[in-house]
Amino acid sequence: MATRQPMQIGVVGLGRMGADIARRLMRDGHSCVVFDLDPDTVTALEKEGATAASSPADLVGKLAPPRAVWVMLPAGQITGTAIDELASHLAAQDTVIDGGNSSYRDDIRRAADLARRGIHLIDCGTSGGVWGLERGYSLMIGGDADAVEPLRPIFLSISPGIDTKPRTEGRTGQPDPAEHGFLHCGPSGAGHFVKMVHNGIEYGMMASLAEGLNILHHADAGKDNAEGDAETAPMEQPEFYRYELDIAAIAEVWRRGSVVESWLLDLTAAALLRSADLEEFTGRVSDSGEGRWTSIAAIDEGVPAPVLTTALYSRFASRGLDDFAGKALSAMRKGFGGHDEKRQ
């Protein structure tokens, strides 16, 4: 594990994550041939030592076989198209690493396709976001061991490295790859499956923090408590809800010694320090595929994931996608109780 012999690798897709991955590789002495549809990003990386390619074909031509190409594109459909194009120039024994957020089901299908031509497809769930250059990326890898094993020096350079965290109690001797921050999870799709569940957990942890902060935010609800009417019960014990809490300071104090210590908490503390009211945000929360797929996987497997799915649904609701349901509820209330909807 200690040897990090230099390799040559192609990188397709030079957005924030793709470019930073190339930088981590070059920093460790690997040579990168890079391509992106935006020539400016290619030029920028070239100045940092990369070899520029003008097209997928050019990139393939500049790599010595057996080639390895890391594809780092944002969405599933674009990734699929790019891999198809790239693969048309590759040969048997070459390897494509899909580092994006593809569905693991697509990986399984695509790997089987490429395998017919002797080309390996590795799916590599890549976590780390915009901080990866500094922190390194957590890598969850799926595919044939024959293809994964030779790329170990690459994974070693991209992943954070064992020194970024104390060893887990009970681990001794030669570190496992997982302790460096990369893991060959299983056959094709396994990497993105694990990354998918990682993101599902992320949704739940984020929602846990967000709900808790919201309870703190409303800890003064007893101060301006309306007196209630037939529609709304008044707060029964307003004397227990008269706190005005400094939420930014609370997030900060939890960062050290508490049970909820986490990177998400660190980021939250930083955001609240910038603006305690988070004014730059509206509260309409996006979601991408992994959170959805995680819930679908739970349903398919028949295992309960109420926290993860509830976290997902809260995002849908934050974008107003339950409006019709709310209207139906108000209509029923009017139907049986004659209740008019209250305007705020």
Active site residues: 195, 202
By beta-carbon proximity to a second copy, the closer residue of 57 and 267 is 267
Q: Using alpha carbons only, what angle is made at residue 121 by residues 119 and 127, rounded to the nearest 5 degrees? A: 155
93/289 Cα distance (integer angstroms): 31
Phi, psi angles (nearest 5°) of residue 163: -75, -5
Interactions with a second copy, residue window 28-87 (CB under 8 A): 74-77
> Chain centroid to CA 65: how far?
32
**Residues in contact with a second copy, shown as a per-residue x/- string from 204 to 223 under the rule CB under 8 A:** xxxxxxxxxxxxxxxx-x--
By beta-carbon proximity to a second copy, the closer residue of 92 and 329 is 329
Q: Which of 23, 137, 143, 148 binds a second copy (CB under 8 A)?
A: 137
CB of residue 94 vs a second copy: minimum separation in angstroms? 25
Asked if the bond preceding 66 is cis, omega within 30° of 0, the reply is yes
| Residue 199 engages a second copy in binding (rule: CB under 8 A) | yes
Q: Which stretch binds a second copy (CB under 8 A): 26-34, 53-61, 84-92, 307-315?
A: 307-315
CB of residue 87 vs a second copy: minimum separation in angstroms? 22
Which tokens in the block code for residue 193? 């499956």
Q: How many residues bind a second copy (CB under 8 A)?
A: 174
| Residue 295 engages a second copy in binding (rule: CB under 8 A) | yes
54/37 Cα distance (integer angstroms): 9
For residue 156, how many C-alpha atoms fall within 13 Å in the half-sphere facing its CB?
18
CB atoms within 10 A of CB 221: 15
Q: Is 338 left (phi over 0), alpha (psi -120 to 50) or beta?
A: left
192/190 Cα distance (integer angstroms): 6
CB of residue 85 vs a second copy: minimum separation in angstroms? 18
Q: Which helix (H) or strand (E) holds 185?
A: strand 182-186
Interactions with a second copy, residue window 229-248 (CB under 8 A): 229-237, 239-241, 243-246
Q: Which helix (H) or strand (E) holds 33?
A: strand 31-35
| Residue 343 engages a second copy in binding (rule: CB under 8 A) | yes
| Residue 260 engages a second copy in binding (rule: CB under 8 A) | yes
CB of residue 16 vs a second copy: minimum separation in angstroms? 6
**How many residues are there in the chain?**
344
**Residues in contact with a second copy, shown as a per-residue x/- string from 95 to 124 under the rule CB under 8 A:** --------xxx--x----------------
Q: Which of 164, 174, 223, 224 binds a second copy (CB under 8 A)?
A: 164
* 154 touches 69 (CB < 8 A): no
Q: Which of 116, 149, 174, 256 binds a second copy (CB under 8 A)?
A: 256
Q: Which of 114, 140, 147, 148 binds a second copy (CB under 8 A)?
A: 140
Q: Which of 31, 44, 135, 144 binds a second copy (CB under 8 A)?
A: 135
CB of residue 163 vs a second copy: minimum separation in angstroms? 9
Closest CA to 232 of 92, 341, 130: 341
CB of residue 71 vs a second copy: minimum separation in angstroms? 15
| Residue 202 engages a second copy in binding (rule: CB under 8 A) | yes
Q: Is 263 exposed, middle or buried (0-12, 13-18, 19+ CB in 10 A)?
A: exposed
